């Protein structure tokens, strides 16, 4: 099973990188772009075949290491 974890700064936490990318896009003429957020994706394989168990494991990984929930939110995809 392949897990994808998407981690982004929470709404309300200033994403300066997103802001810089947004300004660069505006500079290239894409003036209608707004609210750019830059996050990261972490992918890995899991030996488990049980989707529910895998989801619980990946969430535990997010809480413990992959995301800092003081400033970040995360979304898990399993396929």
Site for other proteins, rule CB under 8 A: 9, 13-14, 16-17, 20, 64-66, 68, 70-71
Nearest residue (CB) to other proteins, 14 versus 79: 14
- In this structure, how many other beta carbons lie within 10 angstroms of the beta carbon of residue 5? 20
**H helices, E strands: number in the chain:** 2, 3
Cβ 17 to other proteins shortest distance, Å? 6
Give the helix/strand (H/E) hosting 77: strand 72-78
Cβ 50 to other proteins shortest distance, Å? 26
Cβ 35 to other proteins shortest distance, Å? 18
4 φ/ψ angles, rounded to the nearest 5 degrees: -125, 125
């Amino acid at each position: 099973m392949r897990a994808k974890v998407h981690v982004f700064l929470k709404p309300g936490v200033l994403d300066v990188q997103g802001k810089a990318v947004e300004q660069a896009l505006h500079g290239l003429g894409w003036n209608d772009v707004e609210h750019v957020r830059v996050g990261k994706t972490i992918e890995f394989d899991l030996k488990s075949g049980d989707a529910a168990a895998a989801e619980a494991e990946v969430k535990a990984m997010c809480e413990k290491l992959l995301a800092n929930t003081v400033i970040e939110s995360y979304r898990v995809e399993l396929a």
